[in-house]
């Protein structure tokens, strides 16, 4: 490998369940990418360095700097990276340095963002937002980041102004897998018309949600309704309630959505039904772009 193609630094996305590493060359190009299932959730603080060295030992011969985002900076992570407080810039004013034993290695951890009133936090999503803004000049509006805990983030002039977290993904999983509804909800499959009908119902009358959930079980017992149809209906009821609660965020705003296809499509369909035109961005690409933006700040100091 020539010097032009030797890693100069390493980008890391270290979440609760998984780790992704990218070897970055002198020109900013990605030279290689590796993954591990050794996420924060199974590591003691003194175990992170060994996992990093084991996965990227050959890269570390020339790359002595790591910039990491995600739960690696949580209280249970490698080192706690205290939250910035919104409103604040999407790229951090400073990062926290993790303790290491290896000579000539420096690991910078990107902090998350907190909101004091109403209380809310994010860790990892701020890096995806930074990546989106780095690639979209002068963009103002609302960014939706769907997932287990979906974030709705108001962004203006390069700052996170405010945000709201919705536990819709986690509620769907709990209801579909651990409640009485588990007997009626399919593991996969979809019915778009049923989903949109359910979205409309809770968009217009969100207070009826609690009374509509058991009807999914009853529909199968009484009418033998297909389990895939009921899966789509459960998703629609919950996402409809979320869209109703976050209406002040997306109504009349530029809206961008950062996420993988599987979790993004229901939100795209639900928002489209409300007449909202949504810009799309890939979560992995935005994460890497955000880490690169944070690394660029290091080089200017």
SS3 per residue for 247-296: HHHHCCCCEEEECCHHHHHHHHHHHHHCCCCEEEECHHHHHHHHHHHHHH
Q: Does domain 124-286 have CATH number 3.30.420.310?
A: yes
Contact in structure between 289 and 132 (CB atoms under 8 Å): yes
Contact in structure between 294 and 91 (CB atoms under 8 Å): yes
Q: Which CATH architecture has domain 1-115?
A: 2-Layer Sandwich (3.30)
pTM: 0.93
Contact in structure between 267 and 276 (CB atoms under 8 Å): no
Note down pLDDT in tens along the chain; length 301 residues.
445 689 999 999 999 999 999 999 999 999 999 999 999 999 999 999 999 999 999 999 999 999 999 999 999 999 999 999 999 999 888 899 999 999 999 999 999 999 999 999 999 999 999 999 999 989 999 999 999 999 999 999 999 999 999 999 999 999 999 999 999 999 999 999 999 999 999 999 999 999 999 999 999 999 999 999 999 999 999 999 999 999 999 999 999 999 999 999 999 999 999 999 999 999 999 999 999 999 999 877 6
Q: What burial class does residue 144 get, using C-beta atoms within 10 Å of its C-beta: 0-12 exposed, 13-18 middle, 19+ buried?
A: buried
The domain spans of the chain are 1-115, 124-286
CB atoms within 10 A of CB 33: 12
């Amino acid at each position: 490998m020539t010097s032009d193609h030797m890693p100069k630094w390493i980008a890391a996305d270290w979440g609760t369940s998984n780790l992704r590493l990218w070897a970055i060359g002198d020109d900013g190009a990605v030279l290689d990418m590796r993954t591990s299932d050794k996420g924060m959730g199974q590591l003691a603080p003194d175990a992170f360095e060994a996992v990093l060295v084991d996965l990227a030992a050959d890269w570390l011969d020339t790359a002595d700097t790591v910039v990491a985002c995600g739960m690696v900076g949580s209280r249970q992570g490698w080192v706690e990276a205290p939250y910035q407080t919104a409103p604040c810039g999407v790229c951090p004013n400073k990062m926290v340095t993790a303790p290491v034993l290896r000579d000539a290695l420096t690991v910078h951890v990107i902090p998350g963002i907190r909101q004091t009133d109403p209380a809310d936090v994010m860790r990892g999503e701020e890096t995806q937002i930074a990546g989106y803004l780095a690639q979209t000049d002068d963009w103002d509006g609302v960014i939706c980041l769907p997932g287990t805990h979906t974030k709705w983030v108001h962004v203006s002039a390069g700052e996170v102004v405010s945000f709201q977290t919705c536990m819709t993904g986690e509620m769907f999983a709990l209801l579909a897998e651990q409640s009485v509804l588990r007997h009626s909800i399919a593991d996969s499959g979809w019915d778009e018309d049923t989903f949109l009908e359910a979205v409309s119902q809770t968009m217009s009358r969100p207070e009826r949600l609690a009374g509509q959930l058991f009807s999914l079980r009853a529909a199968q017992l009484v009418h033998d309704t297909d389990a895939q149809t009921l899966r789509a209906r459960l998703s629609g009821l919950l996402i409809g309630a979320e869209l109703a609660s976050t209406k002040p965020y997306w109504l009349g705003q530029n809206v961008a959505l950062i996420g993988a296809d599987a979790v993004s499509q229901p939100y795209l369909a639900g928002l489209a039904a409300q007449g909202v035109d949504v810009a799309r961005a890939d979560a992995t690409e935005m994460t890497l772009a955000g880490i690169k933006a944070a690394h660029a700040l290091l080089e200017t100091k």
